[in-house]
């Protein structure tokens, strides 16, 4: 039995401690050692999300070195890990982010390992969608991402500006590839991963923060309204008591 470990579900985002009923791991030795990998096996690992509203299955297969121990073979060093479920590293994004932006982000994540260049292009497209939607670029100012970025330049911190610029220029490598087939600039998976990470930062810094701010302001407004109506109620009550006292007073006199 494996010792409990901390884990974050990629489907629902919840962090939790995983214990054995929600976890399974099995090693199967491959009965040939004639490939250039030598003694190998596969390690199948499965986690069922304990959040009952989610209950998604996280599944991966690892190609492992097989290590001989007295009477059995056990899993050694990982040579490669193949995540099967979920299909990518995409983090769940809230539904108040437009569906087209979430779809571009998820696709950039999905093709990241197999085609970093296509992933970078998709991250760039996602960036343009975010800039247009979040900053409300008017129709007559839309077109070229560079011009759209200049339109909002004053609004951005130098840090954000540099980060966005990186996504744009690396994404351009993929997007304009067809124009000159002799120019071959490759995008590594690690670089594409950085771009996806920047998209995640923008989604969180802009959309999530704005949503939180709106919610906070709404709660404050409700609180102010509640206090005001409580004050009004108290005033009416005290006026009513005052009127009653007045009546009592007049009764006492008579």
Q: In this chain, which of 9, 109, 122, 137 binds Zn ion, going by CB under 5 A?
A: 9
Nearer to Zn ion, 54 or 156 (CB): 54
Residue (11 or 161) nearer to Zn ion, CB: 11
| Residue among 20 and 236 whose Cβ is closer to Zn ion | 20
- Total binding residues toward Zn ion, as defined by CB under 5 A: 6
Pick between residue 20 and residue 244 the one whose CB is nearest to Zn ion: 20
To Zn ion, the closest distance from the beta carbon of 47 in angstroms equals 9
Q: How far is the CB of 14 from Zn ion (least distance, A)?
A: 5
Q: Which of residues 32-91 bind Zn ion (CB under 5 A)?
A: 49, 51, 54
Taking CB under 5 A as the rule, does residue 11 contact Zn ion? yes
Q: Taken in order 13, 15, 21, 25, is the CA torsion positive or negative?
A: positive
Looking only at residues 123 through 142 of this chain, which bind Zn ion when binding is defined by CB under 5 A? none
Least Å distance, CB 133 to Zn ion, is 28
CB of 22 or CB of 160, closer to Zn ion: 22
CB hemisphere CA count around 42 (13 angstroms): 10
Q: Considering beta carbons, is residue 53 or 180 the nearer one to Zn ion?
A: 53
Q: How far is the CB of 10 from Zn ion (least distance, A)?
A: 8
Least Å distance, CB 15 to Zn ion, is 10
Stretch that binds Zn ion, among 2-10, 119-127, 176-184, 235-243 (CB under 5 A): 2-10
- What residue ranges bind Zn ion (CB under 5 A)? 9, 11-12, 49, 51, 54
């Amino acid at each position: 039995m494996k010792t409990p470990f901390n884990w974050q579900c990629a489907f629902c985002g919840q962090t939790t401690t995983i214990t054995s009923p929600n976890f399974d791991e099995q090693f199967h030795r491959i009965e040939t050692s004639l490939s250039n990998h030598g003694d190998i096996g596969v390690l199948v690992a499965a986690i069922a999300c304990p959040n009952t509203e989610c209950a998604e299955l996280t599944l991966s297969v690892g190609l492992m070195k097989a290590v001989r121990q007295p009477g059995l073979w056990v899993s050694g060093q990982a040579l490669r890990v193949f995540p099967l479920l979920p299909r990518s590293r995409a983090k769940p994004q809230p539904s108040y982010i437009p569906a087209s932006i979430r779809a571009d982000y998820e696709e950039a994540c999905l093709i990241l390992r197999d085609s970093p260049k296509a992933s970078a292009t998709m991250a760039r497209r996602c960036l343009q969608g975010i800039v247009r939607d979040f900053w409300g670029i008017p129709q007559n100012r839309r077109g070229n991402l560079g011009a759209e970025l200049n339109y909002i330049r004053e609004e951005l911190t130098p840090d954000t500006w540099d980060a966005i610029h990186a996504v744009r220029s690396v994404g351009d490598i993929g997007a304009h590839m067809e124009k000159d087939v002799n120019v071959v600039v490759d995008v590594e998976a690690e670089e594409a991963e950085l771009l996806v990470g920047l998209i995640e930062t923008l989604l969180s810094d802009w959309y999530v923060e704005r949503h939180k701010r709106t919610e906070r302001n709404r709660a404050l407004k409700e609180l102010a309204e509640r206090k005001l109506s409580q004050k009004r109620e108290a005033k009416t009550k005290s006026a009513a008591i005052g009127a009653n006292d007045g009546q009592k007073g007049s009764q006492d006199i008579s």
